[in-house]
Amino acid sequence: MSKKSDAGKFALAAGIGAALGAIGGLLFAPKSGKETRADIKEKAGEAKDFTVKKAHEVKDFAGKEVEKAKQAGHKLFSKHKDDTKSDEE
């Protein structure tokens, strides 16, 4: 596994852990129901923003990797084509 993959998994786990910890803290805090619901709504919005940001990062990373693979494939195909042409001559 790559270091980037491990770092991404760690970041995701840390984000999930932080969100669960925050929700647990909110649920057990001595606040009114209205305050607790407002806090949960705020934390849910933060979690959504974090998830959207990470999804965009993953999409960008995947797009770059796909482009690298395409370029490598084109190079390989071109080399193979050139080698085949040389063999025919």
pLDDT of residue 86: 57
Q: What is the pLDDT of residues 6-21, one digit of tens each?
A: 777 777 888 888 888 8
Q: What is the pLDDT of residues 18-40, one digit of tens each?
A: 888 877 877 787 878 888 788 88
Tell me the average pLDDT of the chain: 79
Residue ranges of domains in the chain: 3-88
Give the burial string for 14-51 (b: 16+ CB within 10 Å, else e). ebeeebeebeeebeeeeeeeeeeeebeeebeeebeebe
- Give pTM, 2 decimals: 0.49
